[in-house]
Structure formats: structure tokens, C-alpha cells
Amino acid sequence: MRYLLVEDNQELAEAVLRRLAMDGHAVDHAASLEAAKDCLAAADYDLILLDVMLPDGDGREFLAQSRKRLDVPVIMLTARSQVSDRVGALDQGADDYITKPFDFSELEARCRAVLRRRGGSAKNEIALGPALFDPLSGTLRRGETKVDLRSRESRLLEVFALNPGQILSKGQLMDRLFTFDSAVTENAIEVYIGRLRKRIEGMGFQIETVRGLGYRIEAQSP
């Protein structure tokens, strides 16, 4: 997938770029509307991440104009205070919006959601042993049994599901679950592992601790 990120905050932009690159996407970065136009002229994108406040104009106007020519999904990045930003963002042609500060995992989830909506119904469920996990809705299903996960639990499980068999350290999990400026304890991961374990009981797979290294998902042993 090829993304275009339009964002003038350098620090934030780099963090987002890195993260999306880790997921295997090619991401171009434009720090202004001017630069964004150049990028759009030069390449085809699958998704645009568009900040509202930009040095040379308002992202919404840009969106309104581009919509006539483009048919690319757009996710708006808005500041929390700018409530009015949200209102109308969707009207203006955005496919979704996300308020800053956001978790990277949430951004990833929204990107997937939007792309899925657009690109037809590519199934987005992940098989976990005999169970099926839908990270978008946060539901886990095995036959008749269905479990709803909370947002954090869902993201956590998603990270495991995307790295089956691999050991993930608490540090890695933290970086995947939390914003870079939020200072949470590693203990939070332990707590969530515990909560998640309770929920996935009887689903045919389990999270196993690898002492000193991290955690790993595995199909039920016995």
C-alpha cells in the first residue's frame, strides 16, 4: 500500500512514517499543501492522511477541492480541541477522522478499516487456532461462542495475531499499544496480558510467558 501523509509537525510525522513503514507500507511525506499537490501529481496513492492545520492552508479546503479529481480514501487528523473539525470532516469528503494525540495502533486500525470499506470486502479476520479474530470490531469467535474484547485488549491480541509464534517483549508491546509521549509502566502490559488471558479462555489458543523475554501466542497445547 502506498500512503501519503500530509502533516507539518516533523516529530509526529516521522513517528507515523516509521510505524507505517514497519507495517510494510510505502509512505510519502508532505509538510504542506503545496508539497502534497506535488506528491499527488507524481504518484497514485491508496490512502491519504491529512492534517487539518497546515502552514499554507486548511486541510479541509484542500480536501474539498481534491475530491472532484481524486477518488482516494482520506483520513483527517484533527486536534482534540477543534471539535468543529470533526463536524463536517466527514461531510467534506473524509472517510474517517482521528483526533490527536492518537495511538499508532488506532491509526493502523482506522487505515485498515477505511481501506477495507473502499476496496470491497476483503476479509479482515485473523485465524487464531480454531478461533477467528476480527480486530476491527474487536470480536473473537469460535463456533457458537463469541467474545467482545475491549479496545486495548483487542489491539494487544492483534499484535500477537500478526506475529504468530514470535516472542514479543513488553517493550515492543508497549510501543505498539501506546502513544510515544504517554509514559505507561511495563506493568500495564502484564495487567492486559492477564485480562486478555481471562477472555480468551476456551478459545483454543493461549498466550504463554517466556520469562525474561516476553510473551508469545500459541495454539492450545493439550
Least CB distance to its own copies at residue 13 (A):
11
In the sheet where 145-148 sits, what is the strand order?
Answer: 126-128, 131-134, 139-142, 145-148
Cα distances (Å, whole numbers) of residue 45 to 5, 42, 159: 10, 10, 26
Could you say whether residue 101 binds its own copies (CB under 8 A)? no
Least CB distance to its own copies at residue 90 (A):
5
- Secondary structure (3-state) at 130: coil
Q: Pick one of 11, 38, 61, 190: the residue that binds DNA (CB under 7 A).
A: 190
Q: Report the 10 Å Cβ neighbour count for 211.
A: 5
Range in contact with its own copies (rule: CB under 8 A) among 33-41, 125-133, 168-176, 190-198: 168-176
CA 97 to mean position of chain CA atoms? 12
Q: Pick one of 65, 137, 209, 220: the residue that binds DNA (CB under 7 A).
A: 209
Residues paired with 206 in a beta bridge: 218
| 74 sits in which H/E element | strand 74-79
190 binds, among its own copies, DNA, none (CB under 5 to 8 A by kind): DNA
Identify which of residues 43 and 191 has a Cβ nearer to DNA in the complex: 191
Residues paired with 146 in a beta bridge: 141
Could you say whether residue 151 binds DNA (CB under 7 A)? yes
Identify which of residues 37 and 216 has a Cβ nearer to its own copies in the complex: 216
Could you say whether residue 216 binds DNA (CB under 7 A)? no
CA 193 to mean position of chain CA atoms? 20
x-marked contacts with its own copies along 75-94 as a string, rule CB under 8 A = --------x--xxx-xxxx-
Q: Pick one of 24, 55, 165, 212: the residue that binds DNA (CB under 7 A).
A: 212
CB-CB contact of 79 with 115 (8 Å): no
- 183 DSSP assignment: -
192 binds, among its own copies, DNA, none (CB under 5 to 8 A by kind): DNA
170 binds, among its own copies, DNA, none (CB under 5 to 8 A by kind): DNA
Q: Which three cell numbers stand for residue 94?
A: 473524509
Q: Pick one of 37, 197, 199, 216: the residue that binds DNA (CB under 7 A).
A: 197
Q: Report the 10 Å Cβ neighbour count for 59.
A: 25
Question: Using CB under 8 A, which residues numbered 115 to 134 contact its own copies?
Answer: none
